[in-house]
Amino acid sequence: MQYRPLGKSSIKISEIGFGCMSLGKNEENTSLRLLHRAVDRGINFFDTADLYDKGANETTLGKAFRSMRKDLVLATKVGNQWRDDGSGWDWNPNKEYILKTAEESLKRLQTDYIDLYQLHGGTIEDPIDETVEAFELLKQQGKILQYGISSIRPNVIKEYVKRSFIVSVMMQYSLADRRPEEVFDMLEGNEISILARGVLAQGLLVDKPAKDYLAHKAESIVNIQKKLQELSSPERSTSQTAIQYVLSNPNVASAVVGIRTMEQLEEVTSNAQRLELQELNALREAITPIVYEQHRTHH
């Protein structure tokens, strides 16, 4: 396993991260076994959120990692507030709410600090300075080490780059969703890492039958599936090839994969050949990238 720096911080994270939302349906024992095995396979970066299973996901991580906490990088997220009647959640980026919720996440994770605390979304109408103040205060108190945002909205990302000390932006990024590439130069110029999620495009890049995806027609997905298979071999499976596309950008700190089974875990953590430049170009040419249409301007 290779490790990459998280933004300007001194934290180094495994280039394959574990997206813990995928643990949702597992029995607790299965989840614990999977998480421990992931550590054996070299994964040190685990990403959860207070939203997943109404906090139960964080609780599982707390149980799994209590005894090895200092060797791991735990990331969680805040900003989505469950309604009292459980019917759904509302967006709440207010300072007071973030400070209160951080305490609850710390308890569930059975830890006194969170390595990376992320805003779970965000709009241009948010009280951004107040949100940043909450993160900065938590940092001063030692309750979080670093903070970032989870967003693909160019206008929101720009504001945080300007007005805060984020070390990372988590965004959906894959061969089938290259929309984030437009903000890569800005992030790289500010030494802000990308945490890529959705790197297998819901399995469409691996083994799911092709269908329309985002602005792509199913035929485009078929093209990219063919090209991935063509470039894959016993040394590098199709999903590894798709992941290597994302990791070919040095500013991507980690490809955060939703791992559900031991087989998936073994596959994504096996050593894979890096993509050669001509292979990268062949993949890029196999599909026309789509552009992010909304959230471009200030209101």
For 191, the token pair is: 């030494």
- pLDDT for position 297: 63
27-41, 136-150, 220-234: range with highest mean pLDDT? 136-150
Q: Which position among 3, 52, 97, 147 bears the catalytic label?
A: 52
Q: What is the pLDDT of residues 186-203, one digit of tens each?
A: 999 999 999 999 999 988
Give the orientation angle of helix 95-108 with respect to helix 128-140, to 10 degrees: 40
Contact yes or no for 148/178 (Cβ under 8 A): no
Q: How far is CA 119 from CA 43, 164, 207, in A?
A: 23, 12, 32
Whether residue 237 has pLDDT greater than 60? yes
Q: Domain spanning 3-285: which CATH class is it, in words?
A: alpha beta
Contact yes or no for 99/147 (Cβ under 8 A): no
Q: What is the mean pLDDT of residues 34-56?
A: 91
- pLDDT for position 22: 85
What percentage of the chain reaches a pLDDT higher than 70? 97
**75 against 28, higher pLDDT:** 75
For 167, the token pair is: 């070390």
Q: What is the mean pLDDT of residues 171-187?
A: 94
Assign 298 a pLDDT band (cuts: 50, 70, 90).
Answer: low
Per-residue 3-state assignment (H helix, E strand, C coil) for 151-162: CCCHHHHHHHHH
Q: What is the pLDDT of residues 75-86, one digit of tens each?
A: 999 988 888 887
Mean pLDDT value across the chain: 92
- Clarify whether 292 is annotated catalytic: no
Whether residue 169 has pLDDT greater than 90? yes
Q: What is the mean pLDDT of residues 110-135?
A: 94
Least confidently predicted of 78-87, 88-97, 186-195, 272-281: 78-87
Domain segments of the chain as ranges: 3-285
For 208, the token pair is: 């799911």
- pLDDT for position 289: 84
CB-based contacts of 53, cutoff 8 Å, min separation 6: 24
For 179, the token pair is: 């929309």
- pLDDT for position 7: 97
Whether residue 27 has pLDDT greater than 80? no
